[in-house]
Amino acid sequence: LIDTLPQTLIWSDDVLSVLDQRALPKKIEYLHLLHIEDAHFAIKTLAVRGAPAIGVAAAYALAQSMQDSKLQDQEFHQQLMANATYLKSARPTAVNLAWAIDRVVAAYQEMPYKRTLVDCAQAIHQEDLAISLARGEHGAPLIQPNWSVLTHCNAGSLATSRLGTATAPMYTRHQQGIAFSVFADETRPLYQGARLTTWELEQAGIDTTLICDNMAASLMASGRIDMALVGTDRVTANGDVVNKIGTLNVAILCRHFDIPFYVACPSSTFDPATPRGQDVVIEQRDRDEVIGRHSTALKVLNPAFDVTPHELVTGIITEHGICAPSELRRQLSDLQ
């Protein structure tokens, strides 16, 4: 299965290439990110997107940005820090971006060689692959035979190095030969569900139906959805889940209809430094994403994320297993 999934990121000859997710599914095109500005732009415009994939891409971009540097010692370190800050500014909400960049910087501070940067980025990349396999194994049994799973946005293969976050349990379950189906929210305003999730799940042979975001309630009312499974960009210390706008909507509907609501992510998405979801600064994106070609509205809101309070989350699936959101902090600190 894993080899049939699209390659979101390719690192070859010290150059990072990413599958351009703005062009999908109509065109399959790779962007070669030769300069740090290219990487910043690719992350900002969602050519590469999804919390884990952004982390891996930023780690590579930071490493690559210093490979041709003629600076030495303190000056090299200063430039590295400046590049790190610049890359982090591309998308403020995704905690994996800052996490991956900080890890590359820390590795360099430990072993101050150019090659350390690349080695660390490659390690992050390999770990993301391994972690997605573990997440799939843990989450797959949650999907009962013949169930229908609702997902929102694209927390898929395209959002990570391979198996995806919310999709890892789906791909693993599918490989186990268990029949189930997926309803994919189209996910306005950028249609990540309509463009990306339906495309990648169909390619893997999983029975997938596209719906508008506002149709899920109606499907739940008629008993056609058995669980929801989404990704996340950040889990705060208390277990609140920051994810694509509309996730809170799904969680509230699940609570109303008594449907389990699961979140899948790598443990690096956990942000113990931020106490609660409401402490996270939510990225406000351009009004034109909502307006499109059809509206002439003057006032528009376009928050990229919302906060699902931990009490609406049935469980969080990581590479270490499944736990209640309020237990995640203790589970991860026990492992350290």
Catalytic site includes residue 207: no
CB of 290 to a copy of itself, least distance (A): 6
Question: Which of 123, 217, 324, 332 lies at the binding interface for a copy of itself (CB under 8 A)?
Answer: 217
Residue 208 interacts with a copy of itself (CB under 8 A): yes or no: yes
How many binding residues for a copy of itself (CB under 8 A)? Answer: 52
Set 233, 288, 306, 334: catalytic member:
233
Residue 27 interacts with a copy of itself (CB under 8 A): yes or no: no
Segment 173 to 192, residues that bind a copy of itself, using CB under 8 A = 183-189, 191
How far apart are the C-alpha atoms of 50 and 233, rounded to whole Å? 8
Question: Which of 14, 207, 286, 288 lies at the binding interface for a copy of itself (CB under 8 A)?
Answer: 207
Neighbours of 185 (CB within 10 A): 28
Structure tokens at 229: 């499974």
How far apart are the C-alpha atoms of 229 and 139, rounded to whole Å? 10
Report the candidate in 310, 307, 304, 309 with the shortest Cα–Cα distance to residue 323.
310
**Segment (H or E) for 288:** helix 288-291
CB of 261 to a copy of itself, least distance (A): 13
Residue 199 interacts with a copy of itself (CB under 8 A): yes or no: yes
Complex with a copy of itself: residue 177 or 292, whichever CB lies closer:
292
Residue where the block lists tokens 């198996």: 163
CB-count exposure of residue 92 (10 Å: 0-12, 13-18, 19+)? middle
Segment 58 to 77, residues that bind a copy of itself, using CB under 8 A = none
Contact partners, residue 86, CB within 8 Å, separation at least 6? 36, 40
Segment 292 to 321, residues that bind a copy of itself, using CB under 8 A = 292, 294-303, 306-307
Q: How far is CA 255 from the centre of its chain?
A: 24
Long-range Cβ pairs for the range 23-29 (8 Å, 24+):
24/158, 24/195, 24/196, 24/199, 25/195, 25/196, 25/199
Question: Which of 81, 113, 212, 275 lies at the binding interface for a copy of itself (CB under 8 A)?
Answer: 212
Amino acid, single-letter form, for residue 223: G
Hey, is 66 helix, strand or coil?
Answer: helix
Question: Which of 85, 89, 218, 284 lies at the binding interface for a copy of itself (CB under 8 A)?
Answer: 218
CB 243 within 8 A of CB 30: no
Question: Which of 194, 259, 264, 313 lies at the binding interface for a copy of itself (CB under 8 A)?
Answer: 194
Contact flags string 221-260 toward a copy of itself, x per CB under 8 A: x-----------------------xx-xx--xx-xx----
Contact flags string 127-166 toward a copy of itself, x per CB under 8 A: ----------------------------------------
Q: Supply the residues annotated as catalytic.
A: 233
- Interacting residue ranges for a copy of itself, rule: CB under 8 A: 25-26, 183-189, 191, 194-195, 198-199, 202, 207-219, 221, 245-246, 248-249, 252-253, 255-256, 290-292, 294-303, 306-307
